[in-house]
Amino acid sequence: MNWDHIIKNGTVVTEEAVYQADIYMKDGKIHSISADPLDGEAAEITDATGLYVLPGLIDTHVHSRDGGATYKEDFYHSTQAAAAGGITTIFEMPNTDPPVNHAENFNIQVENLKRKAYVNFGLWGITLGDLNRKEIRDLDQSGVIGFKYFWGYAVDKNTFQLIYNYEDGMKDIIPPCDDGEVYRMFKEMALTGKPFAIHAENSDLIRHLTNEMKQTGRADYETFLASRPNLAEKLTIQTAIAMAKQTGARLHILHVSTAEGVELIRRAQDEGLPITAETCPHYLFLTNKDYDRIGPEMKVYPLVKYQKDQDKLWEGIRDGVITIVCSDHAPHTQEEKADDLWTVPAGMCGVETLTPLMLNAVSDGKITLQQVVSLLSGNPAKQFGVYPRKGALQVGSDADITLVDMDKKVLLKRENLHSKSKVTAYDGMQVKGVPVRTIIGGRTVMKDGEIVDSNPSGILVVPNVVRQNEHTYS
């Protein structure tokens, strides 16, 4: 047999086991996994002595700004950053320009991204309530990975772009959906059978408290936290759980940031409801006390909160309440992040630092390497319907593999990021445990932190079964 690629002498880590074996790849797939050498030559041989061999890692929450605000980031750079961080597949968010709000725009976006993709990618579809209700069936069948609703955000009626800070009387702006329209949305999402992901913040409460806090004349982080308190997340998660229970929708709570959120999700899961949740490194590794050191670059939505919230999030990870950790990669320029807290946009780079931070958590004893495999590979693949093609080291699985060195120490530096933007909260942080090789479809794309394949060869990922739904969409 002539192999395309062999990984030798590595320690294979899956959700189920840790063992020594060699992995043999052919035609973009894993062909054999063997503890004993197999006959044949190989175009590429990787000696993984001292390294751990993981199923290719997945980042389910990425904003690459492409199309749209590509001066901040684009898919060419974000997917290089992903590969540099050991990520083999990303799920791209739909609030682009144009948005992924119907099948035609889905196809336009696929054509836009595939020629720039250094890693594989799936696309989220956006739900805009009545604005695109009749488009949901075709969008579902096109192959979106799931649907996202930016709860409480208004929409520009001409461009369908999201308006983050809605105020009454804004011209040509459609106000946020009321609960009745949201409920109809949940019913439509239940028909797709796909994850329905929500940004869980109560905009009415936030709008009221923001006006109140701004009148104080203060712009410190504690005042900003008072404008977007834990209650804002709690209220929306409560409502979403109730609607999911009533409609049967597969609710997925994005970027959980509060202790209250974890407990609400835990209770819903204990009831047997099909509700899943994710969180992000900024909530796991930062608290309000870090703002004085980091400054406005730390501003994200939902906000980074308190130590008690961080502790509960780690508890939720260890208990299996939170099943995915993702980056919410959302870059802005350095200039945009240089103003006061009320003014600067929310978001920062994250796709490249996601894996090193989670591996450092292994080194610190917070979780195990097998749990990292679940959080960043197995669980995402299963929940979004691409397992075992993705998220597994099995014969027949795609040859997407991440090699990590758990003894290697690296100082995270903004200037080393592969994104267009260099805005990060982790500049100067030392981590122990880093990805050292990213293999996609059997080809090495990243080696020792550098992109070594100049040919973007990532492909579109769609769920294993695109439902042929017979229900009539209203």
CA distance 468 to 458: 27
State the pLDDT confidence band at 466, using cuts at 50, 70 and 90.
Answer: low
Quote the CA–CA distance of 147 and 152 in Å, as a whole number. 16
Residues 6+ apart with CB under 8 A from 39: 1
* Predicted confidence (pLDDT) at residue 429 exceeds the cutoff of 80: yes
Contacts of 289 (CB under 8 A, 6+ apart): 307
DSSP, collapsed to helix, strand or coil, labels residue 136 as helix
Q: Residues 65, 73: contact at Cβ < 8 Å?
A: yes
What are residue 26's phi and psi, to 5 degrees? -150, 130
Of all residues in the chain, what percent carry a pLDDT higher than 90? Answer: 91
**What's the pLDDT at 313?**
98
CATH topology of domain 56-383: TIM Barrel (3.20.20)
The DSSP code sequence of 202-224 is -HHHHHHHHHHHHTTT--SHHHH
The separation between the first and the last C-alpha atoms of the chain, rounded to the nearest angstrom, is 54
Residue 467 has a pLDDT of 38
Place of tokens 């062909």: 31
Question: If you ran DSSP here, which 8-state letter would residue 282 be given?
Answer: H
Segment among 207-211, 262-266, 348-352 with least mean pLDDT: 207-211
Residue 108's nearest CA partner among 116, 117, 118, 98 is 98
Residue 158 is predicted with a pLDDT of 77
Q: Can you tell me the mean pLDDT for 59-66?
A: 98
The answer to whether residue 474 scores a pLDDT higher than 60 is no
What's the rounded mean pLDDT across residues 152-165?
A: 78
3-state secondary structure at position 45: strand
Q: Can you tell me the mean pLDDT for 161-185? A: 84
Identify whether 10 is preceded by a cis peptide bond (ω within 30 of 0): no
What is the C-alpha separation between 352 and 449, in angstroms, rounded? 10
Mean pLDDT over 177-199 rounds to 95
pLDDT-derived band at 450 (thresholds 50, 70, 90) equals very high
Mean pLDDT of the 60-86 span: 97
> What gap in Å lies between CA 150 and CA 364, rounded to an integer?
35
Distances (CA, A) of 35 to 10, 25, 139: 10, 15, 44
Q: Is the pLDDT of residue 102 over 70?
A: yes
Q: What pLDDT is stored for residue 472 in this prediction?
A: 37
> What is the mean predicted confidence (pLDDT) over 199-227?
95
Residue 180 token pair: 């009745």
Given a cut of 60, whether residue 38 has pLDDT beyond it is yes
pLDDT above 50: residue 82? yes
Q: What is the pTM of this model?
A: 0.96
Q: Stretch 329-352: mean pLDDT, rounded?
A: 96
Interior angle at CA 174, CA 171 and CA 175, nearest 5: 105
Compute CA distances 455 → 73, 115, 169, 291, 402, whole Å: 19, 9, 49, 40, 19
Return the closest-CA partner of residue 75 out of 21, 123, 34: 123
Average pLDDT over residues 100-122: 97
Residues 229 and 260 sit within 8 Å (Cβ to Cβ): no
| CA-based nearest residue to 350, from 70, 90, 56, 69 | 90
Tokens of 125: 């579809």
SS3 call for 286: coil
- Whether the Cβ atoms of residue 260 and residue 234 lie closer than 8 Å to each other: yes
Query: Which of 175, 89, 105 lies closest to 138, judged by CA?
Result: 105
- Residue whose pair of structure tokens reads 């062999």 in the numeric block: 6
Average pLDDT over residues 282-307: 97
Per-domain residue ranges for the chain? Answer: 56-383
The overall average pLDDT reported for the chain is 95
In the DSSP assignment, the letter for residue 460 is B
pLDDT band, very low/low/confident/very high, at 175 (cuts 50, 70, 90): confident
pLDDT given for residue 32 in this prediction: 98
Tell the burial category of 465 from Cβ atoms under 10 Å away from its Cβ (0-12, 13-18, 19+). exposed
d(CA 206, CA 108): 35
* pLDDT of the residue at 470: 36
Question: Is residue 156 packed enough to be buried (19+ CB in 10 Å), middle (13-18) or exposed (0-12)?
Answer: middle
Task: Examine the pLDDT at 373 and tell me if it is beyond 60.
Answer: yes
Tell me, what's the pLDDT at 88?
98
pLDDT over 50 (residue 114) = yes
